[in-house]
Amino acid sequence: MLNTIERIDLKEKIKLEYYYGDNKKIGETIIEKNDMLQYHYFSQEYNIIKSSQMLCLITLEHHGIKTYIGFIALGPPTLNKKFRNMFFGKNYLKKLYEIKKTHKEYNDIKILNISRIVFIPSFRGIGVAKYVQDKITEEL
């Protein structure tokens, strides 16, 4: 008898958990307990997650089992970045923040920077990071 591997739709199975404010410490603990930073080129650099404003943990749920497959660290963008300044001008973010403050119709604009994307190796190169980035953009 031939055994076949069950085909699953990752987009249906992937869920995002957001940790920020008072709950951010929970996300940090999950990342540390699952030793997820070993999969990043600056391994064990936990100040990256501690300095982030928000953590998005990516889970895969299948047959009632939830597995953490990665995380994204989000934070406020820094105002002084060489490439951003070259492409958008030196005061790009300052202008955005000023527009947010002075025009009510732009109050809902969220400005976050992805500082780290980390996935366990078996989920790299299959489009999961792009899918998760798009989903974060929709949800936030």
Which residues touch 84 (CB under 8 Å, ≥6 apart)?
77, 92, 93
pLDDT of residue 79: 53
pLDDT, one tens digit per residue, over 19-57 is 988 888 999 888 888 888 777 765 556 677 777 888 999
pLDDT exceeds 80 at position 113: no
Share of the chain above pLDDT 70, in %: 69
Nearest C-alpha neighbor of 47 from the set 113, 120, 116 = 116
pLDDT of residue 16: 93
pLDDT, one tens digit per residue, over 71-82 is 988 887 665 556
**Bridge partners, 62 (sequence order):** 65
Nearest C-alpha neighbor of 77 from the set 108, 44, 114 = 114
- Hey, what are 12's tokens? 């249906």
pLDDT of residue 18: 92
Domains of the chain: 13-76+112-139 (3.40.630), 77-111 (no CATH)
Residue bearing the bigger pLDDT, 5 or 28: 28
User: Can you tell me the distance from the alpha carbon of 55 to that of 46, in angstroms, rounded to the nearest whole number?
Assistant: 12
pLDDT exceeds 60 at position 117: yes
pTM: 0.71
